[in-house]
A = this chain, B = another copy of it.
Amino acid sequence: MTVLITGFDPFGGESINPSWLTVHQLSGQRILGHEIVGACLPTAFDASLAQLAGLIEQHRPDLVIALGQAGGRSGISLERIAINIDDARIPDNYGAQPIDQPVIDGAPAAYFSSLPIKAMLKQLHAADLPAEVSNTAGTYVCNHVFYGLMHLCQFYPNMRAGFIHIPYVLEQAIAHPGAPSMALNDIVRALAIIVRCAIECETDIVFGSGTEC
């Protein structure tokens, strides 16, 4: 089995993006015997999805987990659903700022994650890692990639996929007084648990409880 995990490059004035730092640490490793391929996507609407599609075509992963930074959140956010809208508060890294545009014209309003998010939640908590199911990945590049990724799944029927938001890491929180954060090593630990859980679990049936796998 091949597992593709992706992070993003820095945006919004940050000098680092913990999603890529996290992915980078697991990239090239093996989890439960399976190869982990890591990649860094640009925080840009068009390029991010183009690049992700290329990576999927190249690696034919069985599992894709995309990560993004969600400054202000306090724990690991297991995203439940991607929505078909781009509505950017700030321009992306290439200067694009779509307002109320569909991610993919004519496609469904939303896709649910096909990751076992409730089983992941249980395992993260068992490992003393703060985590929550989130019902919105926003309307910026993260949701754009998440939606595009789920849309691609129809062309790769055996591929499961989803999106995880992570908080600021400690060093970022210093520039954002009062903002919650997590240490990078704890986020890396969380991602390893998430990947292992996704490998072990049967594909989550979207409307099943997801707590057993």
Contact = CB atoms under 8 A, between A and B. Distances in A.
B183 A183 contact: yes
Contact of A132 (B139, B170, B178, B182): B178
A110 B110 CA distance: 5
Main secondary structure of the interface of A (DSSP, over half): loop
Interface in A167-205: 170-171, 173-174, 177-183, 185-186
Contacts of A99: 209
B109 A74 contact: no
Given A74-B180, A108-B108, A170-B186, 5 more contacts: A75-B173, A81-B83, A109-B109, A130-B170, A180-B181
A34 to B, nearest CB: 27
Given A181-B130, A207-B102, A125 B75 contact: no
12 contacts: A75-B181, A80-B83, A81-B83, A109-B111, A128-B170, A130-B179, A131-B174, A170-B182, A170-B186, A180-B180, A181-B182, A183-B183
A105 B205 CA distance: 13
A26 interface: no
Interface string A131-147: 11101101100000000
Nearest to A171: B128
A128 B15 CA distance: 14
Contacts of A171: 128
A118 interface: yes
A133 to B, nearest CB: 8
A129 interface: yes
